[in-house]
Every structure is written in structure tokens, then in C-alpha cells.
Amino acid sequence: MSAPWEEDREYTRYTLMFIYACILYAIIGFSWGAIMGGVSELRHFVDQRLHGNLIVRAHTHVNLLGWVEMAIFGAVYYLVPRLIKMPIYSLRLVKVHFWIHNIGLLGMVILFTLAGVAGGIASMELTPHEVENVIRPYLAGVGVFGSLVLLANVIWGYNIFRTCKPWHKK
């Protein structure tokens, strides 16, 4: 008789989607870093222009929330059911977690990048106070999308906690 998680193709599919997303974000993040370091004009823009460093924050979030977190989520979703010999509490929450996390991360990365570009360009002609007004709406959006990532992470933690909670009663 096989274990319940071994027969659930949808669960396996979503666990692998976390791994595939991890790989995609790693390639994007590593390439982005190489380009920022290797193209002197971009490096100067990021290092010298007001709020150009927001482009670095976008790159950092691709690596941390995309590459690293997605790898951890995929590994935990794979390991926990096997460790406690019980299926995941909710496949629906796994799916919700995946999509909310990706939407939140992509929104953050896009808006961090746009804020960095807009702030850097605006700083050529505007005062620092005026530049702040240019980037403020972008950063407000980063906060909204960042809240989605936080929500996704809470969903993940809840799902794993509920999966593990009955373990000791077996």
C-alpha cells in the first residue's frame, strides 16, 4: 500500500512547481546580478542615482523570496508528509500559497525596479523632495504586494502546522 502523498499527483505537481519557480527565479536573479555588476552604465546608475538602489532591492527580492524561499517551500512540502507519514493538511492552501506568493513577489520586483528607474531618471532634474513624490506610489504598491507575500507565508506556516499537529497522536 502506498502513502497518500505518493498517489496525489496534484500535490506532487504543486510541490514541483515550487522547485521549478525556484530554478526560474535563480536564473533571473543570477543573471540580473551579473548584468548589474558587468555593465558599467547600469552599475553607475544603481550606485550613484537617487533611489537607483531600489533596483538592487528588486534583485535581492528575486533571489531571497524567489530562489531561496521557493526552494525551502518545495523542500518542506516534500519532506514533512514523509517525515510524519501523513498527507498535507490542505492541498488547496498549497495552491493558494503558490499563486499569492508569486503574484506578490512579481509585483514587488516590478514596482521596486520601476521606482528605481523613475527615481534615478527624475533625480537628474528634480529635487530630492520631488523625486520622493515620484517614487511614493511605486513604493506604496511594493507594500501592498509585500503584504501578499507575507500572507502567503502565513498560509504556508498554518498549513504546515496543521499538517504536523496531529502527528504525536498517532
Q: What is the arithmetic mean of pLDDT over 44-73?
A: 93
Topology given in CATH for the domain delimited by 4-164: Four Helix Bundle (Hemerythrin (Met), subunit A) (1.20.120)
3 state SS for 110-133: HHHHHHHHHHHHHCCCCCHHHHHH
pLDDT reported for residue 108:
98
pLDDT in the model for residue 26? 97
Check: CB of residue 43 under 8 Å from CB of residue 36.
yes
Check whether 169 has a pLDDT greater than 80.
no
Q: What is the mean pLDDT of residues 145-163?
A: 98
For the stretch 118-138, pLDDT in tens is 999 999 999 999 999 999 999
Per-residue pLDDT tens for 18-52?
999 999 999 999 999 999 999 999 888 888 888 88
Alpha-carbon span 120 to 51, nearest angstrom: 6
Q: Using the predicted structure, report yes or no on whether residue 5 has a pLDDT greater than 70.
A: no
